[in-house]
């Protein structure tokens, strides 16, 4: 089973949807430019272009659970986004626990010198990369 599995991760947000692409052979992922969104709705043509460019086997959507594991109010919107993604692409979509990725992404962005300028802030895509790398590691360990 040496075939690499590829995945595109989406960190859902109302104004911006972070993106990252990764593959199982190296277990690594890279951040892509986030997709602008209007009240959680991306430009679906742009989503299709990204998918056509990267040709992932799986799509991941971060599920923003509360720290105690219960569902946040935002989970329903992330679930709806994942259902739309599956409906429009036909690709398998997995919801992934992203509880710690946003905090880690903010710390990483700060270390890189980003100071919260929303237009240039890569936090959403960093978060997508972090939970995608966690997912790839879990798959690599037979999970």
42 in any annotated domain: yes
Q: Is residue 136 a contact partner of residue 6, using CB atoms and an 8 Å limit?
A: no
User: Which pLDDT band holds residue 119 (cuts at 50, 70, 90)?
Assistant: very low
105 in any annotated domain: yes
Q: What are phi and psi of 110, to 5 degrees?
A: -65, -45
Residue 133 has pLDDT above 60, yes or no: yes
Q: Is residue 18 a contact partner of residue 50, using CB atoms and an 8 Å limit?
A: no
d(CA 116, CA 11): 17
Chain segment 78-118, per-residue pLDDT in tens: 999 999 999 999 999 999 998 878 778 888 878 887 665 44
Provide the number of structural domains found in the chain.
1
Radius of gyration of the chain (CA): 14
pLDDT at 94 (0 to 100): 97
pLDDT at 118 (0 to 100): 45
Chain segment 39-73, per-residue pLDDT in tens: 999 999 999 999 999 999 999 999 999 889 999 88
pLDDT at 141 (0 to 100): 57
Q: What's 31's domain CATH number?
A: 3.30.420.140
Question: How far from the centroid of its chain's Cα atoms is residue 79's Cα?
Answer: 13
**Full domain range(s) for residue 104:** 6-140
1 in any annotated domain: no
Output the pTM of the full model: 0.88
């Amino acid at each position: 089973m040496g075939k690499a599995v590829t995945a595109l991760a989406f960190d859902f947000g109302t104004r911006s949807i972070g993106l990252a692409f990764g593959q199982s052979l190296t277990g690594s992922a890279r951040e892509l430019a986030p997709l602008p969104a209007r009240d959680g709705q991306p430009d679906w043509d742009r989503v299709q272009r990204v998918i056509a460019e990267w040709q992932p086997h799986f799509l991941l959507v971060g599920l923003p659970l509360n720290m105690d594991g219960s569902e946040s109010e935002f989970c329903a919107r992330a679930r709806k986004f994942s259902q739309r993604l599956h409906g429009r692409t036909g690709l398998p979509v997995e919801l992934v626990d992203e509880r710690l990725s946003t905090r880690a992404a903010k710390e990483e962005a700060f270390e890189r010198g980003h100071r919260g300028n929303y237009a240039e802030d890569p936090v959403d895509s960093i978060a997508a990369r972090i939970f995608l790398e966690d997912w790839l590691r879990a798959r690599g360990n037979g999970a």
